[in-house]
Chains A and B, each alone.
Chain A
Amino acid sequence: MRSDAEQPDPEQPGAKQTSAQQPSTEQPGAAESDAVTTDAVRGVAAGSDAAEEPALLEVAGLSVTFTGDRRTRRPDLRAVREVNLTLRRGECLAMVGESGSGKSVTASALIGLVPGRAEVRGSVRLAGRELLGLDDREMSRVRGDRIGMVFQDPLAALLPVTSVGRQIAEAVRVHRRVSRAAALRRAVDLLDQVGIPDAARRARAFPYEFSGGMRQRVAIAVAIAGDPDLLIADEPTSALDTTVQAGVLNLLEALRKDRGCSLLLITHDLGVVARSCDRVAVMRDGRITEEGGVLPLLGAAVPAGHLGELLAATRDEERAAPAAPSAAGAPVLRVAGLRRHYRARQRLGRAAPPVRAVDGVSFTVLAGQSLALLGESGCGKTTTLHEILRLAAPQSGRIDVLGHDLSRLTPRDRRELRRQVQVVFQDPAASLDPRMRVGDIIAEPLDIQRASAAHRATRVEELLTMVELPPGTERLRPGLLSGGQRQRVAIARALATKPRLVLLDEPVSALDASLRVGMMRLLDNLRATMGLSYLLVSHDIQLVRRSADQVAVLYLGKVVEHGPAWSVLENPQHPYTRALVDASPTTDPARERSRERVVLLGDPHATPGVGCAFRPRCPLFPVSDEATRGSCVTSEPELRQTHPEKRQFAACHSRQLKTIIDAY
């Protein structure tokens, strides 16, 4: 978002606006019953609210319909249906719902930026002023001046060719008649407010020079440049790591308190809601199904309605017993001292140091077991996975798959190993060829291995049953399937050749929360019944706790802690693991708001070069004694057994690790 005011608004001509009391034209019964439940819930919420002041934002009967196309016979799509909302000053309202429930379209309708050909009806009043039906110029003034918007992907929202300082200054100048220099000074000030260290210098940097979390802070600075009354944040932390997420949420919270602006937070993550919102509105199929205070709704023993369904999925996960240890056999995969460095691009003739994507990683996966590589983005977990999948000699170190050293494979062995090692990628929309039919996709590994036609047909049928897809799916193309169904297709494809080792790259993180548990349960069952071994790459603590036997925590290409999953996650011995576990949100608002957490600061990709790589962000480093700090600076910690009886290892110099962490 360069500046809202300058964006042309293609929708206004097509948008139709009618008075607020537009009678609902269809399904009056359904709308009424909705209103009843909403009112009932609101009554509860209002009771707890002492001071009754006029609402900042009042939305009444808002409907958005994307008009169909007669030529292609695409029907009308009613994305938002009769939505009513109120938001008081200084309040934080969360809008939750699964993908496609209409949350984002609602937000776009509020700021008059509905994409595509659409008809918007109803009423949106901001501080008593009707916004629907305003012409382009007036609406532009409202955007940015009264309403600030923060999007999910800050890289897409920021202009890559202009320094962030100038981008913010531009946003300032759109709303105020100030000189260029004054706008730049204000930009530095704003950067400082959103928690960018050394703001004056960083204002001259370009978006690509910032990490994801810092970029989102810059986008927030742009959004608050016009000093808006209402901040709309559309999934502001979904693209960020959990350790960074906490910082951005804290920032939004602080801005709301300091400036007294209201926050409309759109998210699918109930943990975020439990943590920082006052009220929550649940959306489903374009309607609001429940609305009310976060504490009563999320805190209820048995949450009702659609919220209950959404919560059940995540709660199941949170409360699930840790994975029962699986019977372990011989090593299936052994990785020792794996290194993968990438040459960095030279800048003005100066050779940059290589990027150490993977820098000495070792672990072993035993037959029938599941090992998780846990870490933030950029820690090297996916690189490790691809090094194994290449089935070729690694740059440095050694990989053994099913007893074969990858640097000494004959072509014949490699062909055989291709059958035994399969992968499921994160996003099935990308990993399945949209032009192939599901049957051909599933059978592709068989076709490549030249299986007979008869075997192929029966196998496809078997596999569809295995992943619980109905017969007939094989004739469809993946575009017609839902995200969960597509991922099942990807799993079926991975199992087609009866592999022994399956690599799972964030297998559920592209799916809605309500589907994740089912998918992981399916994967766990398949592992048990088919005797598979999994190497699971994930950043999701709950998922690892549920499904992994062993876990290796990666930080900047190195394993900092490993051991049995339950032991590592219940009782982390490395400060980084501890921070990861702490950052993982829970959906219990009371617990979420009261608990202490270790918040990691700093740039996740900053490497000090010598000594402990985690040092710049380590919460223990500043509080450790002199001798320990000395070794942190000079030498790299090695993995040591943390307890004589446990098979848990951590790489940290701090001697009194446990006591310090507990005291923290």
Chain B
Amino acid sequence: MTAEPSAALPARAGDVRRDSLALRMLRDPMAVVGALLLALLVGLAVLGPWLWPYDHTTQRPEAMLAEPSAKHWLGTARLGEDVLAQCVRGLQKSLVIGVLVAVISTALATAVGLAAGYFGKRADRALMWGVDMLLILPSFLVVAVISPTLRDRSWLYMVLVIALFQWTLTARVIRARTLSLRGRQFVGAARYMGAGAGWIVRKHLVPHLVPLLVIDCTLHVSAAILSEAGLSYFGFGIQAPDVSLGSLVADGSGSALTYPWVFLAPVGFLVVTVTGVGLLGEALRRALDEGEAHAV
């Protein structure tokens, strides 16, 4: 830096690189693989029902537990249902539940974490007490206990229940980040300009939390898919005649050794889905960290 400060401004793309997030992601093989896997699965989930003549309820008694063939790529189940159609239906449910849970729990965590961290004192104590309570409760047990009452209602209730037990840790992280951000001088400067709480939260706190929120949201998707699968496996989740990957795994587990395709197909879909989301989340975290390093 020389004597005249105003002379040289760095060129926009020259010596200091600050590529867009998308560009950085494209350079990362992990991100590309994750994104491709997810795109494939989402495509399958959306288009699947139009691609072949069966849906998950179609029963063909003439072909019960048939091996994979040209007609049924992944074979058929006990009542002659097409396994591929079932898996696609299950995938739809799992993805929708995963995304909904992730969005709801991240939103809840942000609201509670920000409020506790920014307002502090009594609000902080009350909210964090609530979070601790939820963390103490054994979530699986609670869900198991209340699931019979949800049995006849929409699966959306299950989304809410899963979300209820997923947001708490994120809320604690957001609170901690908010506490440290609140102490930064630019927040103090904004307050001395006359900015209110809403302004500071919107303009200074949330933008700094975005990377964290994006990463957390993706991780919540895979966690929620696994939770739902677990619940459905034990019969607390999605109820017949509807299916999810979890309930399919449960149904197939009995004949895993005799008719392996009934079991392996949903397991495979589950593993690939969670892997895809996980890869994408990890790649996002790396790309955002890199951007962070440039921004500061």
Task: Give the B-binding residues of A (Cβ under 8 A).
Answer: 71-75, 98-100, 309, 313, 389, 414-415, 418-419, 422-423, 425, 427, 430-436, 444-445, 448-449, 468-470, 472-473, 475-477, 479-485, 488, 493, 512, 514-515, 518
Could you list 25 examples of A-B contacts with CB < 8 Å?
A: A71-B27, A72-B17, A98-B1, A99-B1, A313-B3, A418-B194, A422-B192, A422-B193, A425-B189, A427-B185, A433-B204, A434-B296, A444-B190, A448-B199, A468-B6, A470-B6, A473-B9, A476-B9, A480-B9, A482-B1, A484-B1, A485-B6, A514-B3, A515-B5, A518-B3
Contact A470–B185 (Cβ < 8 Å): no
Partner of B194, one of A98, A430, A449, A488: A449
Q: Is B241 an interface residue (CB 8 A)?
A: no
Q: What residues on A are CB-neighbors of B16 within 8 Å?
A: 480
Query: Complex formed: what's the CA distance from A641 to B186 in Å?
Result: 41
Known contacts: A415-B194, A418-B194, A444-B193. The answer to whether A482 contacts B5 by CB under 8 A is yes
Q: What residues on B are CB-neighbors of A431 within 8 Å?
A: 185-186, 188-189
Chain B: which residue is nearest A312 at the CB level? B3
Q: Is B203 an interface residue (CB 8 A)?
A: yes
Known contacts: A72-B17, A73-B17, A483-B1. The answer to whether A423 contacts B9 by CB under 8 A is no
Query: Complex formed: what's the CA distance from A73 to B14 in Å?
Result: 11
- 9 tightest CB-CB pairs across the interface, nearest first? A484-B5, A418-B194, A430-B185, A433-B186, A431-B185, A445-B193, A482-B1, A435-B207, A468-B6
Q: What residues on B are CB-neighbors of A423 within 8 Å?
A: 189, 192
Query: Complex formed: what's the CA distance from A449 to B192 in Å?
Result: 12
Query: Complex formed: what's the CA distance from A98 to B5 in Å?
Result: 13
B interface bracket (residues with beta carbon within 8 Å of A): 20 to 34
Q: What residues on B are CB-neighbors of A493 within 8 Å?
A: 189
Q: Is B142 an interface residue (CB 8 A)?
A: no
Contact A448–B17 (Cβ < 8 Å): no
Chain A: which residue is nearest B1 at the CB level? A482
Q: A473-B9, A482-B1 are in contact. List 4 more A-B contacts (CB 8 A).
A: A99-B1, A100-B1, A313-B3, A448-B199
Q: Tell me the smallest distance from the CB of B188 to a CB of chain A, in Å.
A: 8
A-B contact count (CB 8 A): 94
Query: Complex formed: what's the CA distance from A472 to B6 in Å?
Result: 12
Q: What residues on A are CB-neighbors of B184 within 8 Å?
A: 430
Of B4, B17, B194, B296, chain A has the most CB atoms within 10 Å of the CB of B194
Q: Tell me the smallest distance from the CB of A468 to a CB of chain B, in Å.
A: 5
Known contacts: A418-B194, A425-B189, A515-B5. The answer to whether A444 contacts B203 by CB under 8 A is yes
Q: Is B195 an interface residue (CB 8 A)?
A: yes
Query: Complex formed: what's the CA distance from A477 to B185 in Å?
Result: 17
Q: Tell me the smallest distance from the CB of A289 to a CB of chain B, in Å.
A: 13
Query: Complex formed: what's the CA distance from A415 to B194 in Å?
Result: 7
Q: What residues on A are CB-neighbors of B207 within 8 Å?
A: 433, 435-436
Query: Complex formed: what's the CA distance from A313 to B27 in Å?
Result: 46
Chain B: which residue is nearest A487 at the CB level? B5
Q: Is B53 an interface residue (CB 8 A)?
A: no
Query: Complex formed: what's the CA distance from A72 to B290 in Å?
Result: 8
- Type the 1/0 row for B50-72, where 1 means its CB is closer than 8 Å to any CB of A: 00000000000000000000000
Partner of B294, one of A414, A470, A479, A515: A479
Known contacts: A444-B193, A444-B203, A480-B16. The answer to whether A470 contacts B1 by CB under 8 A is no
Q: What residues on B are CB-neighbors of A444 within 8 Å?
A: 190, 193, 195, 203
Q: Is B285 an interface residue (CB 8 A)?
A: no
Q: What residues on A are CB-neighbors of B141 within 8 Å?
A: none
Contact A74–B17 (Cβ < 8 Å): yes
Query: Complex formed: what's the CA distance from A468 to B9 in Å?
Result: 12
Q: Tell me the smallest distance from the CB of A4 to a CB of chain B, in Å.
A: 29
Q: Is B43 an interface residue (CB 8 A)?
A: no
Query: Complex formed: what's the CA distance from A475 to B11 in Å?
Result: 11
Query: Complex formed: what's the CA distance from A480 to B18 in Å?
Result: 10
Q: Is B10 an interface residue (CB 8 A)?
A: yes
Q: Is B295 an interface residue (CB 8 A)?
A: yes
Q: What residues on A are CB-neighbors of B10 within 8 Å?
A: 476, 480
Q: What residues on A are CB-neighbors of B182 within 8 Å?
A: none
Q: Is B208 an interface residue (CB 8 A)?
A: yes
Q: Tell me the smallest distance from the CB of B5 to a CB of chain A, in Å.
A: 4
Query: Complex formed: what's the CA distance from A438 to B189 in Å?
Result: 15
Contact B185–A425 (Cβ < 8 Å): yes
Q: What residues on A are CB-neighbors of B185 within 8 Å?
A: 425, 427, 430-431
Query: Complex formed: what's the CA distance from A192 to B195 in Å?
Result: 52
- Type the 1/0 row for B1-38, where 1 means its CB is closer than 8 Å to any CB of A: 10111100110100111000000000100000000000
Q: What residues on B are CB-neighbors of A469 within 8 Å?
A: 6
Q: What residues on B are CB-neighbors of A415 within 8 Å?
A: 194
Q: What residues on B are CB-neighbors of A482 within 8 Å?
A: 1, 5
Chain A: which residue is nearest B293 at the CB level? A72
Contact A389–B186 (Cβ < 8 Å): no
Known contacts: A72-B290, A448-B195. The answer to whether A488 contacts B6 by CB under 8 A is yes
Query: Complex formed: what's the CA distance from A473 to B7 in Å?
Result: 11
Q: What residues on A are CB-neighbors of B295 within 8 Å?
A: 434-435, 477, 479
Chain A: which residue is nearest B196 at the CB level? A448
Q: Tell me the smallest distance from the CB of A89 to a CB of chain B, in Å.
A: 36
Q: Tell me the smallest distance from the CB of B118 to a CB of chain A, in Å.
A: 16
Chain A: which residue is nearest B4 at the CB level? A518
Query: Complex formed: what's the CA distance from A394 to B10 in Å?
Result: 45
Q: Tell me the smallest distance from the CB of A532 to a CB of chain B, in Å.
A: 17
Q: Tell me the smallest distance from the CB of A410 to a CB of chain B, in Å.
A: 14
Chain A: which residue is nearest B27 at the CB level? A71
Chain A: which residue is nearest B290 at the CB level? A72
Partner of A448, one of B4, B5, B193: B193
Query: Complex formed: what's the CA distance from A472 to B12 in Å?
Result: 10
Chain A: which residue is nearest B24 at the CB level? A72
Chain A: which residue is nearest B8 at the CB level? A482
Query: Complex formed: what's the CA distance from A482 to B2 in Å?
Result: 10
Query: Complex formed: what's the CA distance from A438 to B27 in Å?
Result: 29
Query: Complex formed: what's the CA distance from A444 to B189 in Å?
Result: 10
Contact B186–A432 (Cβ < 8 Å): yes
Q: Tell me the smallest distance from the CB of B29 to a CB of chain A, in Å.
A: 11
Q: What residues on B are CB-neighbors of A472 within 8 Å?
A: 9
Contact A470–B193 (Cβ < 8 Å): no
Contact A309–B3 (Cβ < 8 Å): yes
Partner of B9, one of A434, A436, A449, A470: A470
